[in-house]
A and B are shown apart, each in its own frame.
Chain A
């Protein structure tokens, strides 16, 4: 400890114009994204566990419960892979907000948020960086689950364009829920509580058209499931994938007939509510 320190005086850091501030904001955001991906590379097992859950769910629902499911009125088990897969995609996107919330709470709890906020970096970068890396992660998740789906016989019947649009809609839902995750993550005191978000996330994922058509549920529950944003995305992408058997399924709820529109609007509505809430909660950190 005898080496002298090279002074990097603060005055050497150039002052910022509004334009360069935006540019720095992007760079800081990207630095945080790189941090997240360093985690991924250094600890692939965590990633494997996180991706393992939806993969196991796919196999369980398709092979364990699927054989008893008669969703299209064509006999038990028939066409269930095609019905369940889009649901699985949508549910993976829906449950992803827990990872976002957990990461934000973790950063807060470990003092990272304080350190970042005491630095001359872009104030929003810890949060925008998180959002961007989560979208990239979600795309990666989708590629892997789609790979598994192809292996067990799922195919998209839609055109390439329609299929791509379906994946865009999935990421759109994930993006919207990231802000829910950020908001919750900022509200929650510690990571133990964040772990309990499962209790909220599960109904959000399951009371939907993900595994069962809402038409097959008791009336009141079916209505809740049909109006669940996750259902809109699931139904919309089934349409885009031209899932076999969907034509036999009479839309029992108004929103079912407008799934594609709803899959665009729901996430937008969620963001309209949760982006301001997340921003407010972020500002509250300095109270």
Chain B
């Protein structure tokens, strides 16, 4: 087998009527990696996935998936990829097993092979007991797992997941994450889009942050978090008069300068090791007998992170910002 990357894109451009959806996106995903495309809604994530899965023609740039050119050899690409799109594309009027058998047939397996593969996949994705039921009655996580199974018929080299957990409850998200991790552990290259920072953090080896159709930053989850900034410890006191006392306490315990929001009776401080800081401060608060309304760790939201990253990226090279 060749050692070329599973996904390689250079300068992808896509124009819709009056909007530039992609403005020169580059991507490189080595075989076996789990790569995240992170960005706010409208950043161009889905457009990039649509181009890489041969659904949409690019207006510029080039892309190779599993070693084949998406524009020139779409058939070869399609044989080697699986796609789980934003909507769960399973047929509610057929049973789970009938769904997978049909997709197996469309992937050109013989009837017997398609049925065997359907049963295999149902087992792998923990759906054997639901095989004879319609996905209409499934939980969100189960539907998504069936959807994933349908894109795994040929055990694709590259699996594309477009916002795999959007709209799922926490339990459903965990189910899908586990399924994706298992696929990755068996060597499937995964390219997923998400606008959840924690999802990218939990699943991906590397993350490309894109915004306004352009590459913004590429890094490991740890590196990205470092750039975004640490977690913050937040404490809200019941009696605003106690805020000063709390400030001294936190400054002494953590050796850092907290920020006060007097109107909210809130104190916050960046902490490199959240759990350690939380327990230390909590213990001190108890010892000093300060009445606290709320205490907790907060990670910056993606929006805050973008704000932070954009301002950070703009500062060192002001000439390059357009």
Contacts and interface: CB of A to CB of B under 8 A. Distances in A.
B156 interface: yes
Interface in A140-191: none
Interface in A27-44: 27-28, 31, 34-35, 38-39, 42-43
Nearest to B84: A115
Contact of A111 (B87, B94, B117): B87
B55 A118 contact: yes
A5 B186 contact: yes
B155 A116 contact: no
Contacts of B152: 5
A39 B94 contact: yes
B186 A115 contact: no
Q: A6, A28, A115: which has the most chain B beta carbons within 10 Å?
A: A115
B290 interface: no
Given A10-B80, A111-B87, A118 B57 contact: no
Given A118-B78, A118-B83, A5 B108 contact: no
Given A1-B124, A8-B117, A38-B98, A114 B85 contact: yes
Contacts, number: 110
Contact of A5 (B81, B87, B89, B155): B155
A114 B55 contact: yes
Nearest to B183: A5
Given A1-B178, A111-B89, A8 B106 contact: no
A24 interface: yes
Contacts of A35: 91, 94, 102
B153 to A, nearest CB: 7
B79 A120 contact: yes
Interface residues of B, number: 50
A31 to B, nearest CB: 5
Contact of A286 (B55, B66, B109, B126): B55
Contacts of B125: 1
Interface string B108-148: 11000100010010011110000000100000000000000
Interface string B91-112: 1011100100011011111000
Given A1-B179, A38-B93, A120 B86 contact: no
B85 A111 contact: yes
A37 B126 CA distance: 28
23 contacts: A1-B126, A1-B179, A3-B120, A5-B155, A8-B113, A13-B79, A16-B75, A31-B105, A38-B98, A39-B91, A39-B94, A42-B134, A43-B93, A110-B88, A111-B88, A112-B91, A114-B83, A115-B83, A119-B107, A285-B55, A286-B54, A286-B55, A286-B57
Interface of A: 1, 3-10, 13, 16, 24, 27-28, 31, 34-35, 38-39, 42-43, 109-112, 114-121, 125, 285-287
Given A9-B155, A16-B75, A39-B94, 14 more contacts: A6-B155, A7-B155, A13-B108, A24-B108, A34-B102, A35-B91, A39-B91, A110-B89, A114-B50, A118-B53, A120-B107, A121-B106, A286-B56, A287-B57
